Structure 1
């Protein structure tokens, strides 16, 4: 049976899809087509979901993170098979052998080595792709098209990605100092890493010196910071792309830290150092995004961004007094979200008038187009409304509303989402324009 016949039969229901390997075989064929049509794993998962297929079962069925994980693993296996995408793509008849050779990457329990069950079952991971919290995706810490390194850590991407997000957040901060952001970042990082290490001793423990090493690496001089425009300063999801291009030689830097701290780090020879391939990069950026390296925020980043959002709103309004729209800066996402949360407390015409004014001012600030503002607010309201019902229509004090905002963002990190959306995607995304 040809690949075309097989796909036609499964899509029409003639051939049933009954197990993990069946879904993997279908994804294998979709990915073949996707890799050559500028799609990749994010688009392919939408094709699977459109037909009712998923790698997960029970509560993990249609879990976006889990399904993209298996597609990323599949892409990694194909990458190895084709010698870094320079050889022939394996055909359908090769699939049984291909699956056997790469079984360690692809079997139905492979996710357990990369994700803790609690992390994977969170509401955020069901709706928004999040990189693994136990170890990195295969080869994702080395530049594509360059020799594979022996990883110095299974989680080498965790701290650099976190530090990169902290720095990018500092670029767009209108009033929080870098010292304040650093304190928030270290506090939330200690909480998330310590919690994970207590449950999974294989996960790295928190080390402030290690965290500061990466923060200092990603902190440029003030003159360099001044040259960066606000429209190009966010993009935490670009970190994986930059690693793929060789901009950051993470293994050499990690070995440097370990040597400084008296660890077991060894120097890296000149012939082993990563080479930076900036644009034009020969397609490295496209290959990396196809493989799922254009990631969203991980657990450390989500906790940090949620805490920053709370800090941004602390000084707004008095205890128990509703906010005035004129006192908000609706170029700041946290102020927008706090406004939606307040609207959720209101009823009827009062709510509609408040939301109408919010939409108008968001558009006026250039954060979103007029044709999308209403839907954005509606979807955000749908997320927040169940949470604030417990207030029974009464706007609470600063501490209560701050804790509620933090909880909403931690449990619904899609509110931070910014990656390019597949044209097949059916669910709404929460992308806002960069703040000028």
Structure 2
């Protein structure tokens, strides 16, 4: 790492600085880069912004006699991140930002006034009224409650899967739109892309820019997705109630009940903290620990290194964990969660898919089976396998890229 020259002048990119517990969160919304630093680090950054040289900063810190920091190493780290440049290299910042134009994710910007109107008090009252009314109807009508058997399909498997995928995709789009609109309320732009959590394909909104906001203002963007999920459940419940009043009891009711169950599963899934879900980010924000997952990975690799006598894992040299106690608890949840996810994959999902594949083969070999049944089962198994294999591919590709990095 290159050291700073005492008389060097530095260009500092536009940075936000927000209190984060006893530390400070310094970052650039343009670059989607945020780092937690101690108070002395914040002082160095503000002095660099004021045009001071590393030599002048050392002298000022020594005169104050406060918390000491290795100014040379800290400035070198800022250079490595891309937060500061020698004044004759300031153009490199714009070149780096230009490279971000190749990002294939969808850039989302919205008028902050419109976004504030969407999350205004009158709209919130209407939201609570809709959710409350749907809950009231479900309380007195068992047919409107969540049907935990709604995923059990006996016929029209392929059609049901396709329609449920379409409706679920719309629900997911609304979920992510909730996140992005809530961020836009504070003038923060975001990006929407397709990613994965383990072998599950997910849509994900990149809200990195909200870390430039004060801590209390981050909660709404982080929780807006689940708020939208509750609204979707309420609206679909009201739709089911309306259809039942018209005498409908068939496929449409079943499909909407499956959609409600799917959205409920999505909300429950958000509590899988080890997958960096919405609830994980809410928790890390509450704990003022934005790098909780990254520190947990470093901590676990270091534990593995020490337990295996250096044969496995990686040694963490002088780690600066914010809270070892929090890290230990989260690391246990991280391990247990991954074991549970892998067990669910091996003991439930794959055997179920194998059973449907066997039924499809039996229908193909059975002369008495109808052509519709044969194709219905075959297309269902094929679509399910494609989705699963696609998720596994994205997961393995991500792991391989991380290892190479």
TM-score tier by shorter-chain length is under 0.3
- Return the structure number with greater helix share: 2
Q: So what's the TM-score if we normalise by structure 1?
A: 0.24
The higher radius of gyration belongs to: 2
Q: So what's the TM-score if we normalise by structure 2?
A: 0.25
